[in-house]
Amino acid sequence: MVQAVVPADLLARPPVLPGELAAAAWIAKLDRPRAVSQTGPLAGLSFAAKDNIDAAGMPTTAGCPAFAYQPATDSTVVHRLLAAGAQLAGKTNLDQFACGLNGTRSPYGAVPNAFNPRYVSGGSSSGSAYVVATGQVDFALGTDTAGSGRVPAGLNNIVGIKPSKGLISARGVVPAAQSVDCVSIFARTVGMAARVLQATMGHDAGDPYSRRLALATQPWGNAFRFGVPSQLEFHGDALSQAAFREAVGRLRELGGTPVTIDFTPLAQAAALLYESALVAERYAAIRGFFDAHENEVVEPVRGIIASGRGYSAADLYEAQARLQALGRQAAAMWPSIDVLLVPTAPTHYTIAQMQQDPVALNRNLGAYTNFVNLLDYAAISVPSAMRPDGLPFGITLVGPCGSDWQLADLGQRYHHATGLAQGATGEALPAPQPIPGLNESATVRVAVVGAHLSGMPLNGQLTERGATLTAKAETAPHYKFFALPGTVPPKPGLLRVAPGTGSRIAVEVWEMPIQHYGSFVALVPAPLGIGTLELADGSSVQGFLCEALATAGAQDISHFGGWRAYVASLQQQQ
């Protein structure tokens, strides 16, 4: 049997000292990664498992030494990963009993943020996020009840997939609130996380909450509607507030139309998780152990779990009815939107701040995550920006149950549009990957105006992706056209202006398979970007737009009516 570096003294270790914060990410790391297959879709990849997920041969502690036990078998999710060729590197630290969103509630030490060790990593899947962000493994398993698979992703510049409930089996996972628990996935790219989801999803008769789910296969493409809460609270954090405004703009550029939604029922549903009889499920999850060993549980976890004792069955039914009513109210937003956009976490806190006010600040971190599982939604957290203070900001895309592949597709397009590095590694993002389960026949209409036109130097970027020319058209008369200086090969810039002040510009409309669209967008250099263009016939397509600042001093060539005419004029001058 492969032995861990630490298990011999695992249960007797004292809490980790401040100088050892980075080491607190691992509960136990294997000398030699454990594998059962050399083949499979995940062959050669390494992963870590949050230490409330069973892996045979390694103790499961759930962050509580007195609770620890030695599982005889792997959890279903670990078994499926090993069978797919992945290698288990070890177990990671967590907020005790997966109760917390900050990563400081463990006797094995507070897990630091991967970018600044003074700040929290987010929890409860703190260790899993840290080892992914720092490049120690290719991906990691977490769990998510109230946001534990998303908040650490947002605070560490990585991807966190929170699948639809029951899509990944939770058999062999220590429950937090079993009816809403989900196994989650951390990776540095959406493509990697989607591969892991494909390998782990599927019904499991041994899990009472496992479900056979039919996932949507039609991507939202280049014309989608995204909900934005009418009121957002960033707790005085102007940097996060500015980063969220930037995120709204980026989704617009990807073809999204923002729609203001009422966040009130979502916020009220989120509050029920800890402020109603629903918290009794946390107590029920470890009732036998807790009643016998309450003093072995750290605060504030002990107080939260103990509060579940005080509710009656009638209280629980009342809370469930209230949740059902809020769910109906919240459902009114879905006919008007495809996806909901929220900050993954509204702010960052230092470890010292969190330890001084552990309940209120933890609640703040979950403001935009707590409602998701309660209302049976799917979600993905993706990196969005690096703030001026060097800390990451992430967004979460939330969709109805079964929208997992659609969320991954849009999440990947968004992530690659940011140009951010992978986690804290400094490595550039690889090319986008096809999202499993999507309808590969789906296409995106893309209008090109310059070097991508037929016969022009960059047209191959379209044809090599299977794009086909479907129409020659003109824009609506709302654009100005500029020859951008210093571009190689020479490129134009299309700038939208006020109606009546622009010109119609000749374009070609190409139809591109949706699975290749992300890689095409990733090639677009600043100051150019992809946005929504209005054509002369009133229809909308994706197309190249230019930042206004880049047109300052550039030659206005709008009167030529298109790039070909301008290029021809240059040739006549030679």
**Strand order through the sheet with 443-448:** 468-474, 506-513, 443-448, 540-546, 528-534
Question: Among the options 128, 148, 169, 503, which is catalytic?
Answer: 148
DSSP codes of every residue in 265-307 = HHHHHHHHHHHSGGGHHHHHHTHHHHHHHGGGSPTTHHHHHHG
CA 327: distance to chain centroid?
Answer: 23
Chain mean position to CA 545: 27
Contact yes or no for 561/504 (Cβ under 8 A)? yes
CA pair distance 234, 245, nearest whole angstrom: 12
Q: What letter represents residue 447's amino acid?
A: A
Q: Is 359 within 8 Å of 244 (Cβ atoms)?
A: no
Q: Output the six-digit token pair for 453.
A: 């036109």
Q: Tell which residue, 424, 390, 393, 397, has the closest CA to residue 412.
A: 397
Residue-level length of the chain? 574
**Amino acid of residue 453:** L
Locate tokens 């967004």: which residue? 395
Q: Is 37 a catalytic residue?
A: no
- Given the residues 29, 50, 162, 491, select the one marked as catalytic: 50
Asked if residue 276 lies in contact with residue 284, where contact means CB atoms within 8 angstroms, the answer is no
3-class secondary structure, 113: coil
Pairing between β-strand 506-513 and β-strand 555-556 as defined by DSSP bridges? unpaired
Cα dist from 113 to 104, 123, 341, 567, whole Å? 11, 11, 24, 52
Which tokens is 341 given?
Answer: 């956009």
Question: Angle at the Cα of 9 (from 78 to 125), degrees rounded to 5?
Answer: 40
Catalytic residue among 124, 184, 403, 519: 124
Amino acid sitting at position 418: T
Helices then strands, counting H and E runs in the chain, come out as 17, 19
Supply 16's token pair. Answer: 């980790």
Closest CA to 341 of 419, 411, 283: 411
Annotation says 276 is catalytic: no
The C-alpha atoms of residue 321 and residue 316 are separated, in whole angstroms, by 9
Question: What's the 3-state SS for 425-475?
Answer: CCCECCCCCCCCCCCCCCEEEEEECCCCCCCCCCCHHHHCCCCEEEEEEEE
Sheet holding 479-484, edge to edge: 491-496, 479-484, 555-556
3-state helix, strand, coil in the chain (%, to 5): 35, 25, 40
Q: Is 169 a catalytic residue?
A: no
Question: Which residues are marked as active site?
Answer: 50, 124, 148
